Structure formats: structure tokens, C-alpha cells
Amino acid sequence: MNFESRHWLWLLLLPFIGLLWVPFYNFHDPVLFGFPFFYWYQLAWVPVTAFLTWIAYRTYSHED
Amino acid sequence: MKTDIDQTALAVFLFFFALVTVMGFVAARWRRPATLAHLDEWGLGGRQFGTWITWFLVGGDFYTAYTVIAVPALVYSVGAYGFFALPYTIIVYPFVFAVMPRLWQVAKDSGYVTAADVVHGRYGSRALELAVAITGVIAVMPYIALQLIGMATAIRALGIAGELPLIAAFVVLALYTYSSGLRAPALIAFVKDAMIYIAVIAAIALIPGKLGGYAAVFDAADQAFKAKGTGGILLAPNQYVAYATLAFGSALAAFMYPHTLTGIFASRSATTIRKNAVLLPAYTLMLGLLALLGYMGHAAHLKLASNNDVVPALFQTLFPSWFAGFAFAAIAIGALVPAAVMSIGAANLFTRNFWKAYVNPAITDAGEAKVAKITSLVVKLGALLVILYLPTQFALDLQLLGGMWILQTLPALIFGLYTRWFTAPALLTGWVVGMGVGTFLAWIDGLKPLHALTFGDSTVTVYVGLIAFAANVAAAIVVNIVVVSLGRGKQDGLATPR
């Protein structure tokens, strides 16, 4: 792992910040497809986290 | 809920149960090794599971049958607060990505099978090894019992009374785990996960349509909580810290359990684990949507004897009986995979860190496999007896305590991957303090996972496991400073790992 790629690992902290600071998302509005913000915001973090992890994954060499 | 036996549902249920039973026994021949009489083969499937097998196995073993029943039940009863399972199962993967490939590498390089093996290898301390092993076993035992509760709920939903079907299902499970080891749950996980996905996708796609759409579902839940006077579809301000600390503490603890670590150690490579950290969130998306079944229970105006019946009752009320039977089979089979992996994880710990450490240090590889196989039977029998003869609440309380206990093994297991500063006496002291503080706080609060901390005139409610973890780390650091300075003074003291 080179120094440059290590920077990408910091992205993995974003889900912790986005999800553990509850005042960011404990709202009813805006509603999306009938889901209050509280629910779709947290559900949206699933693909976002997978994407951020994928970016971090790309910086490693793959042995298989 | 209906109590008469539904023939169609029962037939579908039995078909799938028979299918996975055959698969469980056939699994011994799957990717057949030269011999199964070796703990690497029986207990870790040969350490050669690639990306997809690991995805199904860890998914099948982390998102348990009990989760499928209990998360919607909690959301049904308390609302938004029960949703903490979602942030928990999101942030767990960046942690897995960053930490678990290192742990896997250490285990692979030295042939370690359990967390306690890793700790013994790193610190050379039998006491610390035993602490980690005992914590693993007592944390995972009630978890196995909970899988039985999940399975019993599904069987009861079919209209079958009595304990005999549960006993029969568990005996079958015990036998194929005995003969096939980790290969059995790995193979069955394909069927289990596919069935759970089908059942959940059908539920979240079709049920809201029958109930007037998601907006109507959320409204109905909101009304129900307002009528009840407790809970709500948003968090109350005094729940913020509880919600966040439960999510964070649970995420740190999740991959300290013997069953989740078994899935990690059985992987083929560090890349397999990193890829899975990217791919496993698909299960989290399913779990988040599944949790909403709790609200659908309100929209469907279900009358439930127990909150745990919300998922089975929804399927029974809103779907044709063949599909209800399919969904119940998915839940029951969903209990088999984690129960098998958990008993294997516990058996590996007993064999490596008790039997080999204290009873027979000269044990052969074949001997290890034999001891582990018998232990897996004993462990399952113990869980069955707990469910049959002790109040259900006993297993629930213990599982809750188990979550905070297993978190106390994190410093011993993980810190050593990053620093050589910590010593065994310091980590052992931290473990004792963490276990003591956590158990004491939970005990005085009436076995609740949350504890109110007062700072000046403000009070915050925090997950007890995380408080105990903080005490654990603080104690380990303080003691280590003392140990290291004593060690420097004496040139060669406690600070040197044996």
C-alpha cells in the first residue's frame, strides 16, 4: 500500500459521522416515496457506504 | 393468528426443510478435502471459501433468524429506536474492511482457528487466552438459544403445537453439523439466503400495496404510537445518544463473536474479506426494509399475543398459504445456519483453548476434530435444554449481556494488530474491569442495555457495553503504563511477552 492510497481509507469515516450524529437526520420531512427523511436517509447510507468501501478496496492489490 | 394446521403451508415447509437436511449431509463431500479429521477442515471448511461462499455464509450467519423476527418486533413495539439495527449493520463494514483482513492474515500465517488462539499467540498468556475463550463461549451460547426461539416462532405459526418438531429439527441440525462441519451451513446458506431474500422482497414490494402504500404504513404506525403514548416514528431527543451508542457499540462487538470470526477465518484471502465488506451491505438494505414490517403490522391492524409474532402474522394474513409456508421455512432454515456456525465456533474455542491448553496438549489434528465435533453436539443440546426448561427471558437477558461481554474482548484481540505497546496483564485487567463494570451497570438497571450518565445538570443515556468498553480501555492503558515502567526498571519484567 503506498502513501497515496492510504488517503482513501479516510472515506470510511464518513458513514460513522453521517449515521452516529443523530441530529443530522431525525426529521420527518422531506418525505421520499412515502418514507420520512429519518428512514430514507439511513437507507441511502447503505449504497453510499458500499461505494466508499469499494473506492477503498480499489487501492489494494488483489491476490485472487 | 390462526391455530389450525395449514396443509399447503406445512407441505411447502417440509419440502424445503427436507431439501436442506439432504444438503447438510451431502456437504461433507462438497469441495472434498483429503480428510475431514482436522480442525481446519471441520471447523473452518479448509480456509478456502471464496467471495461468494463467504458472502452467503457470513450473511447467513450474521443476519440470523432471530434478527428476522426480533428487529421488526422491536420496531413494532417502540418505533424509530428499534431501527438502530440499520446504522449498526452499515458502519460495521468499514470496520470489517479496515480490521479483519489483518486478523485473517495473522490467523492464516500461524494456523490459528479461534480469537483466543490469536491472543495466546500474540501475548503468550494462558490467562488472557482463557478470558477471551470463556467470553466467546458464554456470549454465543444464548445466541444459539435465540435461534431456537426464531425457529419455534416459525413452527408455531404453521399451527403446530408442542416442542417435538423443534427438538427434531435441532437433532437433524446437530447430526449434519457433526458430520460435515462448517461445510454444512456454508452450503445451506445459499438456500437460506435466497429464500429470505425472496420472502422479504415479496413482503416489501407487495404488502404496502395491500395497505395503501408506504405513506399510509408510516401514518398508521404514527397513529398507533400516539394512541399508545410511547414510542414514535422519530426519535425523542433523549434517545439520540442511546441510538448512536447502541449502533456503534454493537458494530464494534459484531465481529468479535465466535460465529462471525469463524466466517472471517474460513475465508480464502484478505481480498475475499475486503470484497465482502463491499458486498455484504446488500443484506443490510434487506434488514432495513424488513424492519419496516413492524410498521406494516400496525397498518394491517394485527392483534398479536407477542410482538415476535408480527412477521409470521403478516405473512399469514396477507399472503396465500403456500407462500406463508415458504416464508416460515425461510425463517426456520434461517435459524439453522447461524446455530450451526455458532456451535462450531464454540466447539473450536473449547477444543483449542481449553482441551488442548489444559487437558491434552499433545492432541493430534484428528483428535482436535473429534473433540470439536462432540463439543458441537453438547453445545446444541445445552441450548435446547435452556429453551425447553428455562424461561425465554433468561436467554434474552443473557444474549443482551453477551453483546456487552464480547465487546470486552476487542482490546485483547484487535489492539495487538496495530501496536506492540500493550501487555497481557494490562489487557487482562481491562477485560476484568470491562466485564465487571458492564455487568454491574446492567444488573442495577434491571438487565437493561442502557445506563443514564449524569454530567453536571445534563443526563445522557448510553449503551452499557460502550461504557464498559471505555472503562476497559482506560484500565488497560493505566495498568500498561505501570507495567511498562516497572519493566524498564527491572530490565526484564512483566512487559516482555513470553
Q: Which residues fall within 8 angstroms of residue A59, CB to CB, at 6 or more apart?
A: A1, A5, A6, A8, A9
Average pLDDT, chain B: 87
Q: A2 to chain B, minimum CA–CA distance in Å?
A: 16
Band of pLDDT at residue B495, cut at 50, 70 and 90: very low
Give dist(CA B265, CA B4) in Å, integer: 45
B277 to chain A, closest Cα gap in Å: 7
Q: Does residue A22 belong to the interface with chain B, where contact is any CB pair within 8 Å?
A: yes
Contacts of B274 in chain A (CB under 8 A): 57, 60
CA–CA separation, B268 vs B62, rounded Å?
19
Beta carbons within 8 Å of B46's beta carbon, 6+ residues apart: B31, B33, B40, B266
CB interface of A with B, residues 29-58, below 8 Å:
31, 33-36, 38-39, 42-43, 45-47, 49-50, 52-54, 56-57
Q: How far is the C-alpha of B49 from the C-alpha of B319, rounded, in Å?
A: 37
Rounded to whole angstroms, the Cα distance separating B160 from B162 reads 7
Q: Mind listing the pLDDT tens digit for each residue in A1-18? A: 444 566 788 889 999 999
- A26 and B272: CB-CB below 8 Å? no
Selected residue of B49, B89, B97, B287 to mutate for chain A interface (largest A Cβ count, 10 A): B97
| Predicted-complex ipTM score | 0.91
Cβ neighbours of residue A9 closer than 8 Å, sequence gap 6 or more? A56, A59, B98
In tens, the pLDDT along B41-91 reads 888 888 888 888 889 889 888 888 878 888 899 999 899 999 999 999 999
* Cβ B321 vs Cβ B8: under 8 Å: yes
Residue B194 has pLDDT above 80, yes or no: yes
Non-local (6+) Cβ contacts of B26 within 8 A are B187
Residues of A with Cβ-Cβ distance to B268 under 8 angstroms: 64
Check A52 against B94: CB less than 8 A apart. yes
Q: Do B278 and A43 touch (CB under 8 A)?
A: no
Sequence-ordered alpha helix ranges (H) in B232-309: 240-254, 258-265, 270-279, 281-291, 293-299
Q: What is the mean pLDDT of residues B205-223?
A: 89
Q: Is A64 on the interface with B (CB under 8 A)?
A: yes
- Judge whether B366 and B37 are in contact, CB under 8 Å: yes
Distance set, CA B195 to CA B157, B189, B192, B384 (Å): 17, 10, 5, 25
- Give chain A's end-to-end CA distance (angstroms, integer): 17
Residue B209 pLDDT grade (very low, low, confident, very high; cuts 50, 70, 90): confident
Nearest residue in B to A17, CA atom: B91
Checking B300-305 for CB contacts under 8 A at 24+ apart, the result is B300/B207, B300/B210, B300/B211, B301/B220, B304/B1, B304/B76, B305/B1
> DSSP letter string over chain A?
--HHHHHHHGGGGHHHHHHH-GGGT----S-BTTB-HHHHHHHHHHHHHHHHHHHHHHTS----
Average pLDDT over residues B164-182: 86
Q: Is the pLDDT of residue B6 over 80?
A: no
Q: What is the pTM of this model?
A: 0.89
When pLDDT is averaged across residues B462-485 and rounded to a whole number, the result is 93
- In chain B, CATH 1.20.1730.10 sits at 7-409
**Phi and psi based region of residue B301 (left: phi greater than 0; alpha: psi -120 to 50; beta: remaining):** left
Q: Is B204 touching A (CB cutoff 8 A)?
A: no
Q: Do B244 and A20 touch (CB under 8 A)?
A: yes
Residue B490: per-residue pLDDT: 60
pLDDT tens for B236-249 read 888 899 999 999 99
* The pLDDT value given to residue B494: 47
Q: For residue B3, what pLDDT band results from cuts at 50, 70 and 90?
A: low
d(CA B469, CA B473): 6
Q: For B368-426, what is each residue's pLDDT tens digit?
A: 888 999 999 998 888 888 888 887 777 777 778 889 999 999 999 999 999 889 999 99
DSSP lists the bridge partners of residue B319 as none
Count of other CB atoms within 10 angstroms of residue B172: 17
Q: Is B236 on the interface with A (CB under 8 A)?
A: no
Q: What is the pLDDT of residue A5?
A: 61
Q: Which CATH superfamily is domain B7-409 in?
A: Sodium/glucose cotransporter (1.20.1730.10)
- Looking at chain B, the whole-number percentage of residues with pLDDT higher than 90 is 40
d(CA B358, CA B367): 14
Identify the pLDDT of residue B498: 47
The per-residue pLDDT for B1 is 47
Nearest C-alpha in A relative to B267: A64
The residue of chain A with its CA nearest to that of B85 is: A42
- Amino acid residing at B43: G
Q: What is the arithmetic mean of pLDDT over B1-26?
A: 78
